Structure 1
Amino acid sequence: MITAADLLEGPRGRRFLLELLRQLLDDESGPGEHLHHVLFWAEYHVMRERGDAPTLVGPGTDRPEPAPSDQELADALRAAVDVADPSSVRPVHVLRALADTAAAARYWQEPDGEDVLLARAGLGPELARLARAWAGAPAVDAVVAPSDPAAPWSTVFDGDHGPEPLRSTAPGDAARALRDWRRALQAEVDAVGWRDRRRRVDARYSGEWWSTPPSGLLVTTPSVPSHGPLGVWAVEDDMGWEQATVTPVVPREGARVLVLDDADDWAAVCRRWPIDVSWTTRRHDWYRTTGRDAGWVTPDWEGVAEAYDAVCLTMRCWLRAAGTAIPVGADTASVIAGWTPGSTVWLRDPVPSADAPRAVDLVFDNDRLQWRRSD
Structure 2
Amino acid sequence: MKLDVASLLAGPRGRRLCLELAMEADDDVRIAVFDLGYDLDPGAGKSRVMMSSFDASGEVPPPAPKPTVAELSDRMSRLDLHRIGDALVQKALLRAVDTARYWQQPDGEDVLAAEARLADALEHVASGVLAIRAANAWGDQFSAQQWAVDWRSAADPTPLSRNPSQTLSEWTEHTLDVEFRSAWQLPADLRAQVSGEWWSIPYRLIQTMSRIPEGLDLIEDSLGWEEATVTPVSGSGRILEVEVAEDWVTLCRDFPLQVTASRRHDWYRTTGRDGHWVIPDWEQVATRWDAVHLTVNGYLHLAGRALEVDPAQGTASVIAGWNPDTTLWLTDRLRETEEPRQHWRRENNWDEWTLLGSA
TM > 0.5 = yes
> Given the alignment of the two structures, is residue 333 of structure 1 paired with residue 334 of structure 2, yes or no?
no
- Provide the residue aligned with 1:374 in structure 2: 356
Residue 33 of structure 1 corresponds to 27
Q: Which stretch shows the higher mean deviation, 355-364 or 318-327?
A: 355-364
Residue 199 (structure 1) aligns with:
188
Q: Percent of aligned pairs with the same residue?
A: 36
What residue is the counterpart of 2:207 in the other structure?
219
Matches within 5 A, 1:337-352: 337-352=320-335
User: Tell me, what secondary structure is at the counterpart of 1:181?
Assistant: helix
1:109 corresponds to which residue?
104
Out of 131, 138, 145, the residue aligned to residue 133 of structure 2 is: 138
Give 1:342 deviation, angstroms.
1.1
Q: What SS class does the counterpart of residue 2 from structure 1 fall into? A: coil
CA distance in 1, matches of 2:49, 2:279: 37
Q: Write out aligned runs for 1:1-375 (5 A).
A: 1-23=2-24, 25=25, 32-47=26-41, 52=46, 54-59=48-53, 68-79=67-78, 81-82=79-80, 84-86=81-83, 88-90=84-86, 92-142=87-137, 144-146=138-140, 149-158=143-152, 163-164=156-157, 167-170=159-162, 173-194=163-184, 196=186, 199-215=188-204, 217-223=205-211, 228-252=212-236, 255-280=237-262, 282-330=263-311, 331-352=314-335, 355-364=337-346, 369-375=351-357
Question: Against the structure 1 CA distance between its residues 186 and 76, is the aligned structure 2 distance closer, same or farther, given a 3 Å change threshold?
Answer: same
Q: Deviations over 1:1-40 (max 9, x none)?
A: 33323321111001111223334x3xxxxxx232122111
Decide whether the 8 Å contact of 1:260 with 1:313 is kept in 2: yes
CA gap 1:365/1:22 in 2 versus in 1, 3 angstroms: farther
Per-residue CA distance 1:32-80 (angstroms, 9 max, x = gap): 232122111111111268775622223267966665332122123234x
Asked if 2 retains the 8 angstrom alpha-carbon contact of 1:158 and 1:245, the reply is yes
Contiguous gaps of at least 5 residues in structure 1? 26-31
Structure 1 CA distance for aligned equivalents of residues 89 and 203 of structure 2: 29
Unaligned runs of 5+ in 2: 55-59
Contact 1:209 1:337 in 2 (8 A): yes
- Deviation digits for residues 128-163 of structure 1, max 9, x if unmatched? 111112112113224x2459833211112227x994
8 A contact 2:342–2:355 mirrored in 1: yes
Task: Please give the alpha-carbon distance, in whole angstroms, between the structure 2 residues aligned to 1:352 and 1:44.
Answer: 47
Q: CA, structure 1 residues 296+52, in 2 after alignment: closer, same or farther (shift >3 Å)?
A: farther
Deviations 1:312-346 (A, max 9, x none): 11111110110011101121111100011011011
Farther off after superposition, 42-51 or 237-246: 42-51
* TM-score where L is the length of structure 1: 0.85
Alpha-carbon distance in structure 2 between the residues aligned to 1:200 and 1:10: 28
1:262 and 1:320 in contact (8 A); partners too: yes
CA gap of 1:195–1:152, structure 2 versus 1, over 3 A, is closer
* Larger mean Cα displacement after TM superposition, 296-305 or 32-41: 32-41
RMSD: 2.6
TM-score (norm 2): 0.88
Give yes or no for contact 2:267–2:273 (8 Å, CA) kept in 1: yes
Counterpart Cα distance in 1 of 2:253 and 2:329: 21
Q: Structure 2 vs 1, CA of residues 319 and 222 (structure 1 numbering), >3 Å: closer, same or farther?
A: same
Measured in 2, the distance between the counterparts of 1:52 and 1:132 equals: 36
